[in-house]
Amino acid sequence: MLGTVLRSTFVALALIVAGQLFTSDAKAQDFGAGDDPFAQEQFLPVDQAFQFDYRQNGAVITFTWTVADGYYLYQHRFAPDPSVELAEVPVYPEGESHTDEFFGESIVYRDAVSITYVVHSAEADQPFTVSYQGCADAGLCYPPTTKTIYLNAVSGDGSTAISFEEIVANSQTDDIFDLAAQPLWLSLGIFLLLGIGLAFTPCVLPMYPIISAIIMGSGQHKQTLPTRRAFTLSFAYVQGMAITYSILGVIVALAGLKYQAMLQHPIILIGLALLFVVLALSMLGAYTLQLPQRWQQKLNEVSQQQRGGAHRSVFTMGALSGLIASPCTTAPLSGILLFIAQTGDITIGGAVLYALSIGMGIPLIIFGVSGGKLLPKAGAWMNTIKRIFGVILLGVALLFVERLLSYEVAGWLWVAFINVAAIYLIVSGYRELKRNAAHVFAIIWIVLGIALQHYFWPTTYHQADFVAVDSVASIEAELASAGDQVVMLDLYADWCVACKEFERETFGDENVQVMFDEMRILQADVTANNATNQAIWQKYRVLGLPTILFFYDGEEIPGSRVTGFMPADDFLQHIENCCEKR
């Protein structure tokens, strides 16, 4: 029976992978262009959409953009002048999450944004350039824009520079795991639940009877205690442990504040990811991670000298137990401390570890009050809890490195990780879980896998057969040789989200491709935004992308230009209205 179930599980998971590769039908993001999607004038020029300003205070250069309503700037598209040496890695302010199916999740800025760069040294009137890029909600993406300013002289001895820690302290950062971006009550609730989960790992739960005996003390306290006193003693122990962890969180947050910017470097991110892999392997049973035996013995000796049964002594023993990290909690605790170092927030650092330790202490309080009757018995099922924490830590490692990868590669890695994790957890945990529970878990993972394919893999489509052009001269040559054919010119760039959608949703439509058979279709890739590309922009007065132009007899057809995304049916109707009689 077990073999049959396992084979069925493997077949089901194989179908998930197959479905992710071959199942289609993903909905595109709606890039509505308003009541008149064909009018170029509905979009602002780039300098009006993103009004630029700057100021210099010694070595500190602050760039400010005022963003028009309905427009946004991408965080990852800001690029300072590579020829100017910066004293510190820039820290970008907190933005809002923006997701599209082609570029994945990005941080964008609306309304206004200020970014500070600290220059190491500069000569008087030395040029400093900064590049940026943004889009309109209606579906237009502007090309990368570069502004040049001229610096006042900056000494390289640091005398004109303010403390970088002050800049960080006055900036909200976009961290890999930004706990501050969540409401505090939500962060506390999450860590409280994590603490409860840690309490049920194999080498923590069996210790509760022993800890409970220490709390209750000896001598006159060996008899059954009143419920109220049992609760207060248990709570005192948990408070000692919680305060120890909170202090640890504050210390790590203070250190994280200083080294926060450095933690964003790719080498550091890769190193942190490897560290999480090492921690995960500990949770998966590859080895045991704990404090050195000598340290544990010293702490245990001090702990044993404390007298049980008194609130002060019990509180002290709780504080000491917070330092004696058990083999099951060291790995996840180390990971949580890395999260806190990323935030650099003292309040959150202390609060979340306090909540974590309270969660770990809740079973102890229940045990102390109930005499152990209300807690589940230790058993093999607890190994499954430990393995789940190990898998979560591996997922965290992937979260660290996904920003260094392309969206497609990150998508493949996530789906591979989820499927391998599902197989591992179901197979390794089958004997500890009831059969029905394992089946339910498998079904949940199947549904999750099918849902993920909608996110990572768009519908397959046939690409239109464009003639590639790369300059004004090549475009004019194609127009001259077109005869009495209508010519369509599509301006495309890799950074244009709506261009990708146009390519898949509109140009990939069968009816649109039938219409293309009756005209000559050209495509100019202006991703590089070099001088040749800019000549095309200027020649045809292009404001942003996507822009599609229609020509007949060498001239642009009046009223035919398309700016912004247009669905296939509307695009067909537009072509019939402006070009059918040509």
Exposed e or buried b for every residue in 79-111, given b needs 16+ CB within 10 A? ebbeebeebbebbbbbbeebebbbbbebbbbbe
For residue 1, count CB atoms less than 10 angstroms from its CB and return exposed for 0-12, middle for 13-18, buried for 19 or more.
exposed
Each residue's pLDDT tens digit, 438-474: 555 666 666 566 555 544 554 455 678 899 999 999 9
Higher-confidence residue of 262 and 80: namely 80
- Is the pLDDT at 35 greater than 70? The verdict is no
Q: How many CA atoms lie within 13 A of 209 on its CB side?
A: 8
13-17, 384-388, 433-437, range with greatest mean pLDDT:
384-388
Determine the pLDDT at residue 214.
55
For residue 567, whether the previous peptide bond is cis, meaning omega lies within 30 degrees of 0, is no
- Judged by DSSP in three states, 114 sits in strand
Question: In this model, does residue 104 exceed pLDDT 90?
Answer: no
> Of 109-123, 396-410, 546-560, where does mean pLDDT reach its minimum?
396-410
**Burial of residue 260 (number of CB atoms within 10 Å: 0-12, 13-18, 19+):** buried
Pairwise CA distance, residues 384 & 202, whole Å: 9
The CATH classification of domain 41-169, taken from the options 2.60.40.1250, 3.40.47.10, 3.40.50.1970, 3.90.1170.50: 2.60.40.1250
Q: How confident is the model at residue 521 (pLDDT cuts 50, 70, 90)?
A: very high
- Phi, psi torsion values for 458, nearest 5 degrees: -75, 170
What pLDDT, in 10s, does the model give residues 92-103? 888 888 886 656
Higher pLDDT, 492 or 354: 492
Tens digits of per-residue pLDDT, 552-568? 999 999 889 998 888 99
The pLDDT confidence band at residue 222, using thresholds 50, 70 and 90, is very low
- At 415-428, the pLDDT tens digits run 788 878 777 777 76
Please determine, for residue 18, whether its predicted confidence score (pLDDT) is greater than 80.
no
Backbone angles phi, psi at 529, to 5 degrees: 55, 40
Token readout for 441 is 């878990």
CATH 1.20.120.1460 assigned to domain 467-579? The reply is no
Do 41-169 and 467-579 share a fold? no
> Rounded to the nearest 5°, which phi and psi values hold at 430?
-60, -40
pLDDT at residue number 326: 42
pLDDT score of 447: 59
DSSP character string of 373-406:
SSSPPP-THHHHHHHHHHHHHHHHHHHHHGGGS-
Read off the pTM. 0.42
Quick check: 288 and 398 in contact, CB under 8 A? no
Rounded to an integer, the average pLDDT of 358-374 is 71
Q: Is the pLDDT of residue 248 over 50?
A: yes
**Which of 52-66, 145-159, 415-429 reaches the highest mean pLDDT?**
52-66
**CA–CA gap between residue 324 and residue 252 (Å, rounded):** 18
Q: Would you state the pLDDT for residue 30?
A: 35
Instruction: Compute the half-sphere exposure of residue 10: CA atoms within 13 Å on the CB side of its CA.
Output: 7
pLDDT value of position 300: 57
Contact 360, 195 (CB under 8 A): yes
pLDDT score for 32: 36
Q: Give 329's contacts (C-beta < 8 A, 6+ positions apart).
A: 198, 201, 204, 360
User: Could you give the C-alpha distances from 339 to 3, 176, 177, 202, in angstroms and in order?
Assistant: 41, 8, 6, 25
What confidence score (pLDDT) does residue 182 get? 58
Q: Where do the structural domains in the chain lie, given as residue ranges? A: 41-169, 179-404, 467-579
Confidence of residue 475 (pLDDT cuts 50, 70, 90): very high
The pLDDT value given to residue 42: 73
* Mean pLDDT, rounded, of the chain: 71
